[in-house]
Amino acid sequence: MTLYERSERVFFETYRRLPVSITTGGKGAILIGDDGAEYIDLIGGIAVNSVGYGNQRVLSAITEQINKYLHLSNLFVQEPQVQLAEDLATHSGYDRVFFTNSGTEAIEAAIKLCRKWGNSNGKHTLVGFSGSFHGRTMGSLSLMDREKYRKGYEPFLPDVLHLPFNDVAALRSSVDQNTAAVFLEFIQGEGGINSAEQSFVDTLFELREKYSFLVVADERDSIGNRANGQVLCV
């Protein structure tokens, strides 16, 4: 039985994998398949960790660290973690950092923050947009409108509104003093590479000034940068 067949037998059927198995690794963008073929990996991990295979700097950093200790609980303070947080804060322009293990956990953390802030300010509605993708946990799915991901998992979080992306009129007529937070990707990825239009972003921040809600950027681009300091970035 091939490794692919073994994986098909043993893993939960959540999504289809490529019928390519890797044992030896690769170099740069090239991966060596167990079938002997060289594959150019245009996917990365997915669209993250794009440091290339066999990256010597990464390898030496990991080796150096592993020789000291592998894992510490968050009860202890440790240099690499603090350094990474400082670097992220410096490069993002934000004051503080919260580490999660995945994108969807970042969204869950943001939902909790927004709910808590909203509850103490009398604001209860969270807004998500059509075509968005925030992850596969229940909070993220609640913000999304796509049947493909949501079907069968109802009920979702209450007080969530789905609005059409880039629709200025819908934004104006739906966002108000009850809005606690608006979640958006400034460039939708899974939704089909749709950028938030400048007029849409301008309206969002105009309404934010008027009603005081939080804006959560699920990955920030140059338009999002303009709003530096006004958004929670996940």
Q: In what order do the strands lie in the sheet with 22-27?
A: 22-27, 30-33, 38-40
Per CB under 6 A, the segment of 61-69, 112-120, 158-166, 185-193 that binds ligand PLP is: 185-193
Of 133 and 165, CB closest to ligand PLP: 133
Contact segment (CB under 6 A) with ligand PLP among 31-39, 57-65, 70-78, 184-192 equals 184-192
Among 118, 128, 135, 224, binds ligand PLP (CB under 6 A): 135
Instruction: Compute the distance between CA of residue 169 and CA of residue 200 in angstroms, rounded to an integer.
Output: 9
Sole window of 74-82, 86-94, 128-136, 145-153 interacting with ligand PLP (rule: CB under 6 A):
128-136
Query: Does 224 engage in binding with ligand PLP (CB under 6 A)?
Result: no
Residue 183 engages ligand PLP in binding (rule: CB under 6 A):
no
Tokens of 140: 């993220």
Which of these segments, 69-77, 110-118, 133-141, 172-180, binds ligand PLP (CB under 6 A)? 133-141
Among 78, 189, 197, 205, binds ligand PLP (CB under 6 A): 189
Cβ at position 122, least distance to ligand PLP in Å: 29
**Region of 11-19, 49-57, 68-76, 130-138 interacting with ligand PLP (CB under 6 A):** 130-138
Q: How far is the CB of 75 from ligand PLP (least distance, A)?
A: 25
Helix ranges restricted to H, the chain = 3-10, 56-66, 79-92, 103-119, 138-143, 147-150, 168-174, 198-211, 222-226
- Tell me if 185 contacts ligand PLP by CB under 6 A: yes
Nearest to 203 by CA among 184, 221, 178: 184
Q: How far is the CB of 153 from ligand PLP (least distance, A)?
A: 15
3-state SS, residue 134? coil
Cβ contact 133:144 at 8 Å: yes
Q: What is the DSSP letter of 196?
A: P
Q: Which long-range contacts (CB under 8 A, 24 or more apart) does 205-208 make?
A: 205/230, 207/171, 207/172, 207/175, 208/182
Give residue 157's identity as a one-letter amino acid code: L
H helix or E strand, kind and range, residue 195? strand 194-195
Shortest-Cβ-distance residue relative to ligand PLP: 103
Name residues contacting ligand PLP, limited to 78-107 (CB under 6 A). 102-104
Between residues 167 and 219, which has the closer beta carbon with respect to ligand PLP?
Answer: 219
CA dihedral for 79, 81, 82, 84, sign (positive or negative) = positive
Q: Residue numbers of the site for ligand PLP (CB under 6 A)?
A: 102-104, 133-135, 185, 189-190, 218-219
